[in-house]
Amino acid sequence: MKHNLSVAELYEESIKKNLAILSNDGTLVVDTRPYTGRSPKDKFIVYEKETKDDVWWGEVNQPFDESDFNKLLEEVKNYLNTKDIYVEDLFVGADEKYRLKLRVITESPWHALFAKNMFIRPNKNDILNFNPDIVIYHAPFFKAKPEIHKTKSEVFIILHLSKRIILIGGTLYAGEIKKSVFTFLNYYYPKAKNILSMHCGANIGKNQDTALFFGLSGTGKTSLSTDPERPLIGDDEHGWSDEGIFNFEGGCYAKVIKISKEKEPGIYKASTRFGTILENVILNEDRSVNFDSDEKTENTRSSYPIDFLENVKLDGKGYHPKNIFFLSADAFGILPPIAKLTKEQALFYFLSGYTAKLAGTERGIKEPTATFSACFGAPFLVLKPIEYAKMLLEKIEKYNPNIWLVNTGWFGGPYGIGSRIDIVLTRKMINWAINDGNAEFYEFPIFGLLVPKKIQDIPDWIFYPQNSWKNKEDYIQSAKKLANMFMENIKKFDIDSKILKAGPKL
């Protein structure tokens, strides 16, 4: 058993075991095929008496028999006992008042480094007499047999909430470690601490004005929260307590397909240095990284400690937010690039969680597909979405932030016809919302959103997507179709009439 090895030692172990190679920048390059994204159909929660009445059972949270879990856990432990084992003791939760201790036990040295990158590293005194609150048993080379282990495939991600054990096997994709911990926190923090857990990035300005960025993978959450003018609190997972915002993690897991030094300098620099793990990228002959290649997957990833970025709030904490952004990559090309929401609209669009699943983030997704993901993070929720929405409403009413819907998707037509909105323009609009937010607004047709008529230094035409289509009748019909999808989806939730009326009007 190799306990809390240094970064250099984990590099050496990974290369020695032929699990990774070095790029010419000093990054550790790994290949996770055939699984280059999450496997949501292979994720389960143990059905047991202490938590069964709290869980939002269904497609997201599939029940797993407790006796079958115990048998599989024992088998995985026995398997790991025959291997070189790497153990990392870490923290989750930047606020010391709410911090949890995490132990990751894995047969793969680069996954140990991934955990070291993604979570909060303790100092030497912190790990004396370390007694973990959560334990992950990670066996990526152990393949389940569904007929024996009662899984759906060779892959399994199983959470036992009351025992605080996470069991992962059959897949090398490192994101399963990160997101299974987040799933547990989406149960623990709301239930045990009355803290709203959120799938969002966060940054903070000179006036201590925190901004939150909600969105699924690929919507620009990491890119937009990583702003050279505003220190980053975290890029993906946060809690909102009575004291303010705090990061759950200590690192970033950025999607790096087609990133460039010019458009995303911070992420690019962090992704080209020693200590960073690059998943499924292609190397050129000179071992330089070809970030433009999607030969293995669109979902190429970079894992690095948050302090690899130059402009970071290292304590991982911020004040109550002044602005909240809901990011939707609209594959239909209907929604405006930015719109201001009322309190009721905020709840409607939070529960809707509309976006497009982008290629590679999940197995089987080959091109953007319109989807609704409650709270902008349905795959990671444990409680019913309405529980998180009620907590968000309490926060909105108490702290009165501005709330914005931002389309980071398509313009001038749907995917395949229109163009993706340039992230440079999106950044300018978000900076305007944070620093000013004042404009003359018009009511966006069908959806009833308040859209600015113009913003300085941004072309006026972008605020009128209904005029950007070649055939306006096609736009109207597509807008009505999308509006119907919103209204059909919202029927799944038990909401009051005020929130229902905040949706599109047909």
Provide, for the chain, the percentages of residues in helix, strand and coil under a 3-state DSSP scheme, each rounded to the nearest 5: 30, 25, 45
Please identify which of the residues 121, 178, 221, 320 carries the catalytic annotation: 221
Please identify which of the residues 111, 116, 179, 238 carries the catalytic annotation: 179
Please identify which of the residues 197, 236, 330, 363 carries the catalytic annotation: 236
Our answer to whether residue 261 is catalytic in this structure is no
Our answer to whether residue 179 is catalytic in this structure is yes
Q: How far, in Å, CA of 323 to CA of 63, rounded?
A: 37
Please identify which of the residues 27, 210, 222, 302 carries the catalytic annotation: 222
Our answer to whether residue 287 is catalytic in this structure is no
Q: Which residues pair with 138 in a beta bridge?
A: 106, 168
Q: Can you say whether the dihedral through the CA atoms of 229, 234, 240, 246 is positive or negative? A: negative
Our answer to whether residue 221 is catalytic in this structure is yes
Please identify which of the residues 32, 180, 210, 217 carries the catalytic annotation: 217
Q: Which residues contact 130 (CB under 8 A, 6 or more apart)?
A: 89, 101, 103, 122
Q: How far, in Å, CA of 82 to CA of 107, rounded?
A: 10
Q: Answer for the pair 166, 154: CB distance below 8 angstroms, yes or no.
A: no
Question: Which one, of 336, 355, 464, lies nearest residue 404 by Cα?
Answer: 336
Please identify which of the residues 32, 38, 111, 241 carries the catalytic annotation: 38
- With tokens 């069964």, the residue in question is 52
Please identify which of the residues 199, 255, 317, 363 carries the catalytic annotation: 199
Please identify which of the residues 101, 149, 178, 301 carries the catalytic annotation: 301
Beta strands in 153-261 (DSSP E): 156-160, 165-169, 196-204, 210-214, 232-234, 237-241, 244-247, 251-255
Beta strands in 58-164 (DSSP E): 62-65, 86-92, 100-106, 134-139, 156-160
Our answer to whether residue 238 is catalytic in this structure is no
Active site residues: 38, 179, 199, 217, 221-222, 236, 301
